[in-house]
């Protein structure tokens, strides 16, 4: 792939209703910007690309209707911070959540996702191509080079990566142009890769192998949580179901699901809350109680953290005709 924009993003975006426009004031003029067709939704897709090495993407758009998307991504390593999102990845199934750092390895199978209507997709991400991480980095740092592929797979999804959050925020708010932009973005991409590689090293130090017995036990715990997520569940009860101590359960559960028990329960609750807010006339307080929260304020705080907007705002925009 000699040019990421021409070979990948332009045909992909045009296929999904975006058209190339002059740069709006809110984005860095060093990049290229597309606008979503008003018939499909509203908003922008901004990209800064360096030939076949890397690209930086800012999403700020929404769809009028629930939208299923399937596309073949080029071989790449991607890291993204979502500020607002509502939807699910479908291969494998997983809820998309705001306020998390997510890595993705592209080029191996089609990416399938269901994006919920009218909820803004606001994100900032970096994609690096094989020409960058297999060739360029190896030449630049021959004595220190580590292939980052396994590190990207290891990170997967986390809410505990403050260094990366800060770096992506710096990229999003940068407004330089010309050679300054080129040097800035190249430096930040290299920094992002190094942060991920270092993070993997820390994870490996604490990682333990999951036996078939552990996996079966964790699948039982997961099934129990799927049925009882709206109730208060003592960790000791889950440990009894898994036949593990509580410390081992917490460690192995996070290794198995890439999130804590509490985060898993909250994801299940928020998915159900979105359905109830969009499809029923239950009050926000009733929705909160139905999914397991005793106060509307706590529910609203966690819902905003999950989607990027408050429950009342979510109901208003999803029930608009």
- State the Cα–Cα distance between residues 255 and 197, nearest whole angstrom: 18
**Contact, 114 vs 68, CB < 8 A?**
yes
Give the predicted TM-score (pTM) of the model.
0.83
pLDDT digits (tens, 9 = 90+) for 30-86: 999 999 999 999 999 999 999 889 999 999 999 999 999 888 878 889 999 999 999
**Which DSSP state fits 230?**
T
What tokens were used for 260?
Answer: 């804590």
Q: Which CATH superfamily is domain 4-205 in?
A: Jelly Rolls (2.60.120.10)
Q: In the chain, where are the structural domains located?
A: 4-205, 212-318
**Cβ neighbours, 10 Å, residue 206:** 9
Q: Tell which residue, 134, 2, 157, 19, has the closest CA to residue 79.
A: 157
Given this model, what pLDDT does residue 238 score? Answer: 96
What pLDDT is recorded for position 94?
A: 83
Average pLDDT over residues 243-262: 91
Q: Are 7 and 1 in contact (CB under 8 A)?
A: yes
pLDDT at 203: 65
- HEC per residue, 67-125: EEEEECCCCEEEEEEEEECCEEEECCEEEECCCEEEEEEECCCCEEEEECCCCCEEEEE
Residue 144 has pLDDT above 70, yes or no: no
Looking at residue 23, what DSSP letter applies?
A: P
Contact criterion met (CB below 8 Å) for 62 and 121 = yes
- More confident call, 259 vs 320: 259
pLDDT, position 206:
58
Measure the CA angle with vertex 159, ends 260 and 127; round to 5°.
125
pLDDT level of residue 1 (50, 70, 90 thresholds)? very low
Residue 255 CB-density burial (10 A; 0-12 exposed, 13-18 middle, 19+ buried): middle
pLDDT number for residue 207: 61
Query: What confidence tens digit (pLDDT) does each residue in 264-284 have?
Result: 999 999 999 999 999 999 999
Please give the CATH topology (third level) of the domain spanning 212-318: Arc Repressor Mutant, subunit A (1.10.10)
Percentage of the chain exceeding pLDDT 70? 95
């Amino acid at each position: 792939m000699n040019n990421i924009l021409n070979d990948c993003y332009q045909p992909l975006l045009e296929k999904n209703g975006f058209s190339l426009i002059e740069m709006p004031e809110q984005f860095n003029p060093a990049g290229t910007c597309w606008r979503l067709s008003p018939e499909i939704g509203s908003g922008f897709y901004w990209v800064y690309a360096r030939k076949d090495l890397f690209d930086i993407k800012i999403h700020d758009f929404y769809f009028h209707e629930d939208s299923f998307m399937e596309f073949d991504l080029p071989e790449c390593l991607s890291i993204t911070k979502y500020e607002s999102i509502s939807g699910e990845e479908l291969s494998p199934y997983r809820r998309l959540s705001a306020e998390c750092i997510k890595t993705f390895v592209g080029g191996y199978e089609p990416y399938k996702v269901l994006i919920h209507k009218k909820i803004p997709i606001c994100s900032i991400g970096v994609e690096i191509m094989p020409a960058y991480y297999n060739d360029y980095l190896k030449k630049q740092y021959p004595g220190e080079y580590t292939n980052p592929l396994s590190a990207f797979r290891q990170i997967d999804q986390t809410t505990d990566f403050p260094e990366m959050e800060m770096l992506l925020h710096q990229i999003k708010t940068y407004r330089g142009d010309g050679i300054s932009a080129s040097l800035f973005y190249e430096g930040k991409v290299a920094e992002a890769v190094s942060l991920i590689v270092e993070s993997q090293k820390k994870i490996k130090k604490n990682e333990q192998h999951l036996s078939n017995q552990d996996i079966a036990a964790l699948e039982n715990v997961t099934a129990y949580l799927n049925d009882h997520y709206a109730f208060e569940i003592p960790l000791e009860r889950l440990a009894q179901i898994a036949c593990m101590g509580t410390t081992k359960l917490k460690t192995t559960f996070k290794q198995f699901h890439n999130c804590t028990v509490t985060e898993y329960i909250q994801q299940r609750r928020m998915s159900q809350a979105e359905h109830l807010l969009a499809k029923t006339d239950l009050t926000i307080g009733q929705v909160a109680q139905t999914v397991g929260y005793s106060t509307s304020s706590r529910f609203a705080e966690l819902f905003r953290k999950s989607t990027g907007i408050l429950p009342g705002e979510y109901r208003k925009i999803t029930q608009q005709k």
